[in-house]
Chains A and B, each alone.
Chain A
């Protein structure tokens, strides 16, 4: 190699050395990202049927449109929902990867902040997450959220709706008798609606109103008359028939969840700690029936509205003859529970109670506005 060649080689090696040094400086001085929450974006909300602004809003989180339509048709063919089809609204969000959890290796439990964020894309009172490929797990219901194993009998939806809407107790045995339930009695006191009073209803010495309702076995899709009447009463009290304008045309509810805000409260039953924040989207405005509640309180201490439900986790799958399952009360729930509350300007405080005893009391004005010490 001549002198000139050596000179070029030296420059080349020197340049490569400089390049390597510069590259490492670049890596070292890259800005670190702030630990701030990612901006929340809502998903597309698809409407299957939603023509009653005074109805109950259901949102499906499903792998696809076909599944959502299939479950909607199934519910609307089931008594008593078939009689109230004009009071039930159904929407869906395509969520093939809905982030569900597995509870104690036995049950599907879709009650995650991300699930609530997906549901927030649509107006909703109740959430039904349908998850494929989980046939080894039980379906479940907790508060207003139902987690359905796609491979289970369709009647599991009817069963979970019985828990979520009106707090019906399990009619199989053995099971824990759920709080404030109406369908299991200590005597055969079902009046004319009893169609074959049978012993065994959660507990061995309680009675059920019929031999084999859907609350006892998934081989049935009937609540049977006594339980049907409980659901009909709930639907009568919490919905109204479609309102029509002077011209007779149907007034459709148009709610854009992008313009709505809600409070998300994550509660840990073990530590009794809460984490709260404000998010964009829709939150439930109607509850079910039960001894537990969310009460929104105004600046002057008036209760603005109350949502009721049951803070109990029901898990179930079909056994040999009847359902097999487990009931877990809030205090034994080994995980956080999420409450979502619509942001209403005149509301100051929220009180979340179990059996009328407050477990969470929050000044909502401070949510997302409590400065941290730095």
Chain B
């Protein structure tokens, strides 16, 4: 009777341990998968951003200090991590960033604010177009950049 009880108890303990280990494994796996899918998906959906754009390109011009001035209006409260600017010329193209990728030197404006961003283009001769993306989603393209008045 005594040995039977011991055997029964051991089985209960091992079964409980198996259940506990399985639940922990499931929880950890769920954490990994959900984190992975979050990393894969952009902060904003590009199709949604096209319908309801979070920013609008108001003006682009080249100033006499060899900088492009890009004025953006943040139209919605949609969270944004990064702005990406690509300047193309006949000889090369250079990509710029603003937001989390850039630290304190370039920060995004608050929602519903207008802000002018500056892009140093001393290494680019005759920029032909500016491509603006928000968190990897193409927002606007501007060709024939005029001088600032």
Size of interface on B: residues with Cβ below 8 Å to A: 41
List residues of B (115-130) whose CB comes within 8 Å of A's CBs.
115-120
Q: A277: CB under 8 A from chain B?
A: yes
With an 8 A cutoff between CB atoms, is B142 at the interface?
A: no
* Residue pair A366, B118 in contact (C-beta under 8 Å): yes
> Which of B29, B39, B106 meets A369, CB within 8 Å?
B106
A12 partner, pick from B14, B95, B101, B116, beta carbons under 8 A: B14
Point out the residue from B11, B18, B119 that lies within 8 Å of A15, measured CB to CB: B18
Q: Which residues on the A side are within 8 Å of B98 (C-beta)?
A: 369, 371-372
Are B28 and A23 in contact, CB atoms less than 8 angstroms apart?
yes
Q: How far is the CB of B123 from chain A (nearest CB, A)?
A: 9
CB distance from B97 to the nearest CB of A (A): 4
From the candidates A26, A371, A373, name the one contacting B118 in the complex (CB within 8 A). Answer: A371
* Chain A min CB distance to B40 (Å): 12
Whether, in the assembled complex, B17 has its beta carbon less than 8 Å from a beta carbon of chain A, the answer is: yes
Q: Which residue of B lies closest to A279 (CB)?
A: B104
Contact with A along B19-42 (1 / 0, CB 8 A): 001101100110110011001000
Whether A12 and B28, one on each chain, are in contact in the complex, defined by CB atoms closer than 8 angstroms, is no
| Cβ-based interface call for B84 (8 A) | yes
- Contact for A19 among B25, B39, B97, B118, CB less than 8 A: B25
Contact of A370 (CB < 8 Å), options: B14, B18, B36, B118: B118
In the complex, which residues 350-374 of chain A have their Cβ closer than 8 Å to any Cβ of chain B? Answer: 363, 365-366, 368-374
Contact check, A36 vs B119: say whether CB atoms are below 8 A apart: no
Given contacts A15-B25, A369-B117, A374 and B18 within 8 Å (CB-CB)? no
Say yes or no for A278: interface residue by CB 8 A criterion: yes
Residue in contact with A278 in the complex, picked from B18, B96, B107, B118, CB distance below 8 Å = B107
A365 touching B118 by the CB < 8 A rule?
yes
Interface residue ranges, A against B (CB under 8 Å): 4-5, 8-9, 11-12, 15-16, 18-19, 22-23, 25-26, 29-31, 34-37, 275, 277-278, 363, 365-366, 368-374
The 5 closest A-B pairs by CB, nearest first: A371-B96, A15-B21, A374-B97, A277-B104, A372-B102
